Amino acid sequence: MSTEFVRKWGIGFTIALGVFLFVVYPMIGDEFTVIILTQCVIWGILASSLNLMLGYTGLASLGHAAYFGSGAYAAAIMSVHYQSTFLEALAVSLLVSVIVTAVFALVALRATGVYFLMITFALAMLVWGLAYRWDSMTGGENGIAGITRPDFLTNTLTFHYFALLIGVGVFLFFISLVRSSFGKTLVGIRESESRMQTLGYNVWLHKYIIYLISGFFSGLAGFLWVFYNSYVAPTDVELLTSFNALLMVSLGGPGTLIGPVLGSAIFVFLDNTVNMYTERSLTVIGIVYITVVLFAPKGVVGLIRQLIEAKMKKTEGLGEEEGKNISEA
């Protein structure tokens, strides 16, 4: 049993599971499950974007709701206030999130570590404050309702596959990004910024670019969210949203590609089912937060890898001993 074999088998299994869950099941399952699965896809995009910064570059952002929210509100405002088309809304949405990211990143990247967390949090509060109080634009507390999908997307199933298509596209792009030399540099920066600096890499530029990419795709997730829910409100941009995004990445497995997707799926499922069985949903999610940090710092993916490695060590260890006995005999 070689590592290669296990790895290929693991990937194959995951892909098969993913295809079954997101492609096959929607056709046979009920509408509500499809709605939940679409939610997983959208949050998966957000979590994966955050992961590019958190998992691969070592930049923990506590304010990703800002870029998600900018994209979401821009789309909603375009669609409802300006009666724009779907594509127009998309274009503006992405543009706005990139601009917001570009400006925020300039400020945030002046700090690292804990300070970076604080500053990203503070910047997200700016967006939240606008969403909450700039009534004439954002509807304030009321949010913006009545966002309608274009005709070809009104069907729940069709929208699901639409979102899925985008999600898969984003995922493939992330794979190639991570595997490229640019991606490898990011990992190097995560491991040791100073070393990369001495090696002659423009560390700041790399961070800035990945921040932009991350913000861009977070905005895309926001865009999808608005058309998924037909509604956007300041609660979508609040602190808790940024926290949940972080949890999804950490829960799934930071620094892996499948991690955030898994994490968001788990989170969405938990979020929607816990209150079917108990009123103590706060406690349950709280325990998840604590457990992840204490026992699964590399997320569920990390756990699975640990378990597999441990198992393989056992079988290999056994093989060695037998070999010794045989050779001694």
CB of 46 to another protein, least distance (A): 15
Q: How many residues bind another protein (CB under 8 A)?
A: 88
Phi, psi of 144 (to 5 degrees): -120, 120
Stretch that binds another protein, among 8-16, 44-52, 163-171, 244-252 (CB under 8 A): 244-252
In 3D, which of 121, 170, 144, 161 has the Cα closest to residue 26? Answer: 161
Alpha carbon dihedral 300, 189, 108, 285, in 10-degree steps, equals: 10
What does the buried/exposed string (b/e) look like for 258-282 if buried means 16 or more CB atoms within 10 Å of the residue's CB?
bbbbbbbbbbbeebeebeeeeeeee
Footprint (CB under 8 A) of another protein, residues 179-238 = 229-233, 235-236, 238
What Cα–Cα distance (Å) separates residue 68 from each residue in 74, 194, 236?
10, 31, 8
Footprint (CB under 8 A) of another protein, residues 103-162 = 106-107, 110-115, 117-119, 121-123, 125-126, 128-130, 132-136, 140-143, 145-146, 156
List 4, 151, 279, 321, residue binding another protein (CB under 8 A) = 279
CB of 254 to another protein, least distance (A): 8
Footprint (CB under 8 A) of another protein, residues 298-327 = 300, 303, 307
The 8-class DSSP code of residue 134 comes to -
List 191, 293, 309, 313, residue binding another protein (CB under 8 A) = 293
SS3 content of the chain, % helix, strand, coil (to 5): 85, 0, 15
Q: Give the integer Cα–Cα distance in Å for 32 and 30.
A: 6
List 99, 168, 243, 308, residue binding another protein (CB under 8 A) = 243
Helix (H) or strand (E) segment spanning residue 218? helix 203-229
Stretch that binds another protein, among 77-85, 183-191, 286-294, 321-329 (CB under 8 A): 286-294
CB of 88 to another protein, least distance (A): 21
Beta strands 231-232 and 144-145: pairing type? antiparallel
Footprint (CB under 8 A) of another protein, residues 4-33 = 25, 29-33
Q: Give the integer Cα–Cα distance in Å for 264 and 270.
A: 10
In 3D, which of 72, 248, 97, 227 has the Cα closest to residue 162? Answer: 227
CB of 181 to another protein, least distance (A): 26
List 286, 317, 319, 323, residue binding another protein (CB under 8 A) = 286
CB of 72 to another protein, least distance (A): 10
Dmax (CA) for the chain in angstroms is: 87
Footprint (CB under 8 A) of another protein, residues 67-106 = 106
Nearer to another protein, 135 or 316 (CB): 135
Q: Interface with another protein includes 54 (CB under 8 A)? A: yes
List 153, 288, 308, 312, residue binding another protein (CB under 8 A) = 288
Nearer to another protein, 199 or 282 (CB): 282
For the beta carbon of residue 131, count every other beta carbon within 10 angstroms: 28
Answer yes or no: are the C-beta atoms of 301 and 252 closer than 8 Å: yes
CB of 113 to another protein, least distance (A): 6
CB of 323 to another protein, least distance (A): 29
